[in-house]
Structure 1
Amino acid sequence: MDLARSLSRLIQAESYSGREESAVRVLVELLEGLGLRPEVDEAGNVEAVLGSEGPEIVLTGHSDVVPAGDPGAWPHPPFAGVVEGGKVWGRGAVDMKGPLVAMLGALERLKGRRLAGRVRFLATVQEELGGLGSRYASSRLRLEPPKAVVLGEPSAGRVMRGHRGRGEIWADFPGDQAHAAMATGTNPIYSLADFLAGLEQHPESFDVRLTPTRLETYPQATNVVPGVARVVLDLRYEPGADIHDLLDGLRDSAGEASLYVPEEELVSGPVRMSISALLPAYSLDSDHPLLAVALRALGQESAGFWSFTTDAPYLAWSGAPVIGYGPGDPALAHTTFEHVAVDALETATAAYADLVQALLEA
């Protein structure tokens, strides 16, 4: 298959989280072009299976993308899928329609090989919002757990074994709403400021990083003492960090404030999920035998860690180890210069095929 042309088509299928239908249609057409029989589940995930018996390897990634922002800030229109200078440009080129197309190329290669099992292609929805698609798919996959899951988030061609967790912590400080000219009660902004000052003095631990990212007041008026002042903290944490202990400590220092992790209801078709803003970390043991197989197959000595969260924790609910590998520079994800080299797609296509074969034969 023409990897650059296929990726261009997929980029042109604008697919913000919750509106992935156009990308789903393109993926279905590409899979049918490979002679496979794709299916779309209730959540909107696209699946297709190569082979019929034996252990299963899942090749997976997500079809949704983050907003493109100002089109004028891009060197090429973000959804034009321009191919220029040996690169494919546009939103999703790296994160992560490029890896999906490379996986399709791998399926085409694997059709000509004798496999010791089968391969499932899985393109999930709403990864950027908290992983509704992968959470839903894992509930089925665990009925007959695959041998391994290969997640194609961009890694510049390096094998990955996990990532940090990410969360949002909200703290609402109560006050006495009043006219600013006649205020005599509690102004919650002062309480919030004291909390942040204490947080700034608190040394960061090795495994946890907290960063204030948003301040809000309710009501939002410049001549009113607010009834509530809110701060949002971005949380990044390493696998094994004690988040419950962290939350207890923050609640103690926040005093009368209500400190909590928010939840959001996500919807895709008939599927509804209430998803916490605390996204888990994932870590595959460095001595896991299938990780060793993957490293040998791709000629690498050690696996890395993504700095961002992925669908790996939810895919692992299937009972299978999750191994990461993807083409593209992760630093270009979510930027206005997002692009992937065509030769990186070709390298990843061969790598995915070799990786699947090695894992099935292990």
Structure 2
Amino acid sequence: MPVDPVQLTVDLVRCPSVTPEEGGALVLLEGLLSEAGFACTRVDRNGTPNLFARWGQKGAGRTFGFNGHTDVVPVGDAAAWTHDPFGAEIEGGYLWGRGATDMKSGVAAYVAAAIDFVTETPPENGAVIVTVTGDEEGAGRDGTLAILDWMQTEGEAMDACIVGEPTCPSTMGEMMKIGRRGSVTFFLEAQGVQGHAAYPHRARNPLHALVKLLDRMTAAPLDQGTAHFDPSTLQITTIDCGNPATNVIPAKARATVNTRFNDAHTGASLIDWAKGLIAGVEAETGVTITLRPEVSGECFLTPPGPLVDLVAAAVEAETGIRPELSTSGGTSDARFVKDHCAVVEFGLVGQTMHSVDERVAVDQIAPLKAIYQRVLQEYFA
């Protein structure tokens, strides 16, 4: 009997898997996949729950993979919800609950598609891999990265992969992601000399130096965009010195800056750019500015080609819409998968993810399963 992706979504949403809790979601999926003949392995690392499942022989002629997560962000104010956040109630054409959109419906769709595909039309010399992490909404260091590290050690490999994150802004089928911008955060601390505001010549104001630096960072665009990416962006997210007094020049000041960058840059090149600006401001002001950079992902692109064309054609066949090839949005675990194999992202409409009353249109879940199953059929044809 075919796996019902709507019922599977219901079952998954009822698992309270707020990062880092597993909540029963991976146990549920492991049981379902094992019954269908998948060899399942829990790849937990540092308390983070992860699941790897393969149907077919290791090292088969062709191997197609899926990646996603069952962990969810916190509910927030439960009283603000009109439905139980973990009740998975179906009402008004929607399935309501935390993770309904991001991304338990996507996981349910690709798990159901993978099981039905290998049950109904098993490939003769192929393998299907399903990976699910419980750490996408957290730091991400022990989630998909842990699975990929384990796969490398064990000689497991995917030739191509779909990440099932929500990708469509408003209409099912309108957009797929063929890349993502990179992200680097600059944590800045300026060390000056404290003093009386009426005698600035006896002090060295770290705020003046920090403001000068931030002005230079934001004075001009980082670039004008590239063939597949919009212009890179840079945003100051916080400035603070913790000074309660109006007549005291503080000794220290801190700021945080985040940039989302395209393929005109790398994390390393932007760090070097920031260091150059810092050196100039230090020389002018005598204030010492320390930089702690944190690169959470490099920019990547899966160029239009066989995998992109395959997924786009499957989406069009099932929805009647040719998806836009986009690199918009934040980061996803595709930033890790791209170091392993070619990867694209396609999923449902993501308008309510992370919000109160998160919900997914029930009539989109089965078509998503159909798209994933069509991809598998065409890939192994």
TM-score grouping bracket, smaller chain normalisation: 0.7 to 0.9
Paired with 2:132 and 2:375, the residues of 1 have a C-alpha distance of: 18
Q: CA deviation at 1:178?
A: 6.2
Q: Give the aligned residue type for 2:24.
A: S
TM-score when normalising by structure 2:
0.80
Check conservation: 1:138, 1:317, Cα contact below 8 A: no
Paired with 1:130 and 1:240, the residues of 2 have a C-alpha distance of: 25
Paired with 2:28 and 2:298, the residues of 1 have a C-alpha distance of: 31
TM-score when normalising by structure 1:
0.84
Select 2:332's aligned residue among 288, 300, 310: 310
Instruction: Return 329-338 or 116-125, whichever deviates more.
Output: 329-338
1:273 aligns with: none
Check conservation: 2:72, 2:102, Cα contact below 8 A: yes
1:9 aligns with: 11
Q: CA deviation at 1:225?
A: 5.0
Check conservation: 1:56, 1:147, Cα contact below 8 A: yes
Paired with 1:313 and 1:86, the residues of 2 have a C-alpha distance of: 33
Select 1:78's aligned residue among 76, 85, 90: 85
Instruction: Return 70-79 or 305-314, whichever deviates more.
Output: 70-79
2:186 aligns with: 169
Select 1:68's aligned residue among 67, 75, 78: 75
- Could you report, residue by residue, the CA deviation over 1:311-331 in whole angstroms, capped at 9, with x for unpaired residues? 11311222x21122112x233
Q: SS of the counterpart of 2:87?
A: coil
Check conservation: 1:49, 1:121, Cα contact below 8 A: yes
Q: CA deviation at 1:89?
A: 1.5
Q: Any stretches of 5+ residues in structure 1 without a counterpart?
A: 263-276
1:335 aligns with: 355
Select 1:154's aligned residue among 161, 166, 171: 166
Select 1:258's aligned residue among 283, 286, 290: 290
Paired with 2:11 and 2:199, the residues of 1 have a C-alpha distance of: 61
Identity of aligned residues (%): 27
Go from structure 1 to structure 2 and tell me whether the alpha carbon gap of 1:57 and 1:175 turns closer, same or farther (over 3 Å shift): same
Check conservation: 1:125, 1:131, Cα contact below 8 A: no
Go from structure 1 to structure 2 and tell me whether the alpha carbon gap of 1:247 and 1:54 turns closer, same or farther (over 3 Å shift): closer
**Structure 1 position 192 matched with structure 2 position 197:** no
Paired with 2:108 and 2:313, the residues of 1 have a C-alpha distance of: 24
Paired with 2:199 and 2:324, the residues of 1 have a C-alpha distance of: 64
2:219 aligns with: 201
Q: SS of the counterpart of 1:159?
A: strand
2:285 aligns with: none
Q: CA deviation at 1:245?
A: 3.5
Q: Give the aligned residue type for 2:235.
A: T
1:49 aligns with: 54
Paired with 1:342 and 1:326, the residues of 2 have a C-alpha distance of: 14
**Structure 1 position 112 matched with structure 2 position 120:** yes
Select 2:372's aligned residue among 348, 352, 359: 352
Check conservation: 2:114, 2:373, Cα contact below 8 A: yes
Paired with 1:281 and 1:21, the residues of 2 have a C-alpha distance of: 32
Paired with 1:238 and 1:78, the residues of 2 have a C-alpha distance of: 36
- Could you report, residue by residue, the CA deviation over 1:219-238 in whole angstroms, capped at 9, with x for unpaired residues? x3514754321111121111
1:123 aligns with: 132
Paired with 1:120 and 1:168, the residues of 2 have a C-alpha distance of: 33
- Could you report, residue by residue, the CA deviation over 1:61-113 in whole angstroms, capped at 9, with x for unpaired residues? 01222223222333323333222122112221111111001112212321111
Check conservation: 1:282, 1:312, Cα contact below 8 A: no
Q: Give the aligned residue type for 1:71.
A: A
Paired with 2:73 and 2:332, the residues of 1 have a C-alpha distance of: 14
Q: Give the aligned residue type for 1:238.
A: N
- Could you report, residue by residue, the CA deviation over 1:201-233 in whole angstroms, capped at 9, with x for unpaired residues? 33342232110112233xx35147543211111
Paired with 1:115 and 1:303, the residues of 2 have a C-alpha distance of: 29
Larger radius of gyration: 2
Go from structure 1 to structure 2 and tell me whether the alpha carbon gap of 1:345 and 1:196 turns closer, same or farther (over 3 Å shift): same
Paired with 1:114 and 1:245, the residues of 2 have a C-alpha distance of: 46
**Structure 1 position 324 matched with structure 2 position 345:** yes
- Could you report, residue by residue, the CA deviation over 1:162-192 in whole angstroms, capped at 9, with x for unpaired residues? 1111221111111235688998522322322
Check conservation: 1:60, 1:123, Cα contact below 8 A: yes
1:265 aligns with: none
1:137 aligns with: 147
Question: What is the correspondence of 1:209-224 to structure 2 with a 5 Å cutoff?
Answer: 209-217=233-241, 220=242, 222-223=244-245
